[in-house]
Structure 1
Amino acid sequence: MSIPTPHNNAKKGDIAKTVLMPGDPLRAKFLADTYLTDVVQYNAVRGMYGFTGTYNGKRVSVQGHGMGIPSIGIYTYELYNFYDVESIIRIGSAGAIDESLHIGDIIIGMGACTNSNYESQYNLPGRFAPIADFGLVKKAVEAAEELGYKYKVGNIYSSDTFYDDAQALKEWQKMGVLGVEMEAAALYMNAARAHKKALTICTISDCPFTGELTTAEERQFKFTQMMEVALTLIEE
């Protein structure tokens, strides 16, 4: 396929080898404005902003991916397969399933369960277990330790439904799943199929079982700890 794509104005070479991806394009803009230097905006199609800049001398891009598996499936497929991106780190929000997690805590998603049928496209003779790149997981843990941020590593649940029934989440809780979000499983599958790297780092934005909740503004501007962990994962 030729580029630019129907969803991305970038030309070959505009996007770095490592891309940090929040769901919210305004969070992408906030990260670029706050942490990067020499920033160039490469995309604004459908309001899904993408920027490339420099962090500690390393080139990095940041781009929104939207909500849900179909959306992140499109954007990450194009980045891996059309723009030669090697690593994608999703920096998103998640609801706590593990009741020891609270607002602002970090989940490093080692694996992703899902109720999505995304894997059906691969015609596999069984079920695929989407997992993150171990090297990225290891580096993220080391960074969180060094920065002193509260985190847990484990399984997350990528749901096709935002308004999940609380009892259904209780069933995932029984399996040790840490949190619920809507994108990681597709990201991990796209990375596996393209033989590339992926990781999801989420900040807890709400706790369905306790009623804890954040505002849209807080999710856009205050979830900086996961950004700082992700920025340590930039590969040259």
Structure 2
Amino acid sequence: MDSRDGQRPASCTTPILVHNPHLDGLKNDILYHFSLGTVTHDLPAMFGDVKFVCVGGSPWRMKSFIEYMASILGMEDPKADYPNICSGTDRYAMYKIGPVLSVSHGMGIPSISIMLHELIKLLHHAHCTDVTIFRIGTSGGIGLEAGTVVVTKQSVDSNFLPKFEQVILGKTVMRNTDLDPKLAQELLECSKELNLFNTHLGNTMCTMDFYEGQARLDGAFCSYTGEDKQEYLHDAQKAGVCNIEMESSVFAAMCKMSGLRAAVVCVTLLDRLKGDQLTSVHEVLKSYQQRPQILVGHYIKKLLNDQKDC
């Protein structure tokens, strides 16, 4: 069976799929940006038990997430400092506790794409199965109050189309950006159980830029009016777009190709219909950023507890 469409094979476990015959000829697959390799490291021993992966932009946020998971899963060690597995490089950071892996991806499509290539290969080389992956992060909302958590239904481009375009050998290849609908609904149910903050299901627009690409008026350059901005954002809202960020399209496309069950969970830091700059104090923004962690953490804990009861 060709699993390029991301569908799960008819078996009791779901492996991580790679689509690169050239890997078979490598004596040592060097995961350069992780400072790991198939010969230099025992990847099955290090990562074979991973069932959940959570990725986000900043290293400190992903360390905070693994500390949070250690706490709610009862795996917290007062003497542990949760070392960075990728300490041999300054490109990405990686932390692990039990079956949970936490990895930073930087900002934007190119940065997360590089990380995902090596993460998918890492999980493949480690013989991981049945892995669920989440992207947690921040975003700008459209018509949603600050602090709202958005679970992405579908990632769309700047024309509100559900696709990711990749240029390969000078040719543009279009890839699907569907995410797991059942996983999204399960996360919504978890949010209802928590009843701590508003959670919304909707489309997420993924852009290549933070300023002009997101219709901001406060960049170094701007060739449009405030009215143009409002018209564009209202058109996005009519197309079902609830928030804007810079990684979801390639995340959705690559996870689908590799057979990973995936979700995007981002908190809105402001309503872009009302402004462009962040004016909330640091403590408020920090509390907002913790909300995707709380939701995903609750989901993981619930699943692990259910497995124990089986």
TM more than 0.5: yes
Deviation of 1:117 (Å) = 5.7
> Structure 1 pair 170/222, CA: closer, same or farther in 2 (3 Å)?
closer
Is structure 2 residue 65 aligned with structure 1 residue 20?
A: no
1:84-123 correspondence runs (5 A):
84=124, 86-97=131-142, 99=143, 101-115=144-158, 118-121=165-168
> Structure 1 pair 47/218, CA: closer, same or farther in 2 (3 Å)?
farther
Q: Is the 8 A contact 1:112 1:129 kept in 2?
A: no
- Listed one character per residue, the Cα deviations across residues 154-184 of structure 1 (whole Å, up to 9, x for unaligned) are 1100101111225233331221210000001
- Indicate the residue corresponding to 1:193 in structure 2: 257
Is structure 2 residue 234 aligned with structure 1 residue 170?
A: yes
Question: Which segment is superposed worse, 103-112 or 43-52?
Answer: 43-52
- Larger radius of gyration between Structure 1 and Structure 2: 2
- Indicate the residue corresponding to 2:104 in structure 1: 64
- Indicate the residue corresponding to 2:294 in structure 1: 228
Is structure 2 residue 93 aligned with structure 1 residue 29?
A: no
Aligned length: 230
Q: Specify the code of the residue in structure 1 equivalent to 2:137.
A: G
Please report the TM-score for the alignment, with normalisation by the length of structure 1. Answer: 0.84
Q: SS in structure 2 opposite 1:103?
A: coil
Q: Is the 8 A contact 1:40 1:53 kept in 2?
A: no
Is structure 2 residue 113 aligned with structure 1 residue 79?
A: no
Q: Is the 8 A contact 2:59 2:92 kept in 1?
A: yes
Q: Specify the code of the residue in structure 1 equivalent to 2:200.
A: K
Q: Specify the code of the residue in structure 2 equivalent to 1:91.
A: I
Q: SS in structure 2 opposite 1:145?
A: helix
Is structure 2 residue 121 aligned with structure 1 residue 42?
A: no
Q: SS in structure 2 opposite 1:225?
A: helix
Structure in which a larger fraction of residues adopt strand:
1
Deviation of 1:125 (Å) = 10
> Structure 1 pair 233/124, CA: closer, same or farther in 2 (3 Å)?
farther
- Indicate the residue corresponding to 1:7 in structure 2: 33
> Structure 1 pair 106/47, CA: closer, same or farther in 2 (3 Å)?
same
> Structure 1 pair 124/150, CA: closer, same or farther in 2 (3 Å)?
farther
CA distance in 2, matches of 1:215, 1:93: 15
Q: SS in structure 1 opposite 2:35?
A: coil
Q: Is the 8 A contact 1:72 1:187 kept in 2?
A: yes
Q: Is the 8 A contact 1:136 1:233 kept in 2?
A: no
Deviation of 1:135 (Å) = 3.0
- Indicate the residue corresponding to 2:308 in structure 1: none
Q: Specify the code of the residue in structure 1 equivalent to 2:187.
A: A
CA distance in 1, matches of 2:256, 2:170: 14
- Indicate the residue corresponding to 1:152 in structure 2: 200
Q: SS in structure 2 opposite 1:131?
A: coil
Deviation of 1:52 (Å) = 0.1
Q: Is the 8 A contact 2:83 2:95 kept in 1?
A: yes
- Indicate the residue corresponding to 1:51 in structure 2: 95
Please report the TM-score for the alignment, with normalisation by the length of structure 2. Answer: 0.66
Q: Identify unmatched segments of 5+ residues in structure 2.
A: 1-22, 71-75, 217-228, 305-310
Q: Identify unmatched segments of 5+ residues in structure 1.
A: none
Moved over 6 A (4+): 122-126
